[in-house]
Amino acid sequence: MTADQRLDQLEPLVSQTLAVADRHTAQLKQLVNIVTVQSDNIEFVLKELVDVKDAIAATDTKIGSLDSQVAALGAKVGAIDNKLDRIIDLLSGNK
């Protein structure tokens, strides 16, 4: 077999192999694009999650402050209630 005959046999195989490699390269490029988009989406969601976490922490702080204020108001209402009871007792003649 001559060198030209061997090349004639190898040429279709090499061509087919290169075609498969080109398809795989195109598929890999598509996968890279998909992974990049998904990565951007995940990064966006994570940033939003951090913002939500911060908002929840701020809300928890506000709720804690409101709880303290409500407790203080409750104490004041209790003191006023006691004073009113004392006034009523004094007015009704009970000492």
d(CA 18, CA 24): 10
Digit-coded pLDDT (tens) for 26-59:
999 999 999 999 999 999 999 999 999 999 999 9
Please state the pTM of the whole predicted model: 0.55
Rg value, the chain, Cα? 40
Percent of the chain with pLDDT over 70: 98
pLDDT at 85: 93
Q: How far is it, in rounded angstroms, from Cα 58 to Cα 78?
A: 30
What is the DSSP-derived secondary structure letter of residue 94?
-
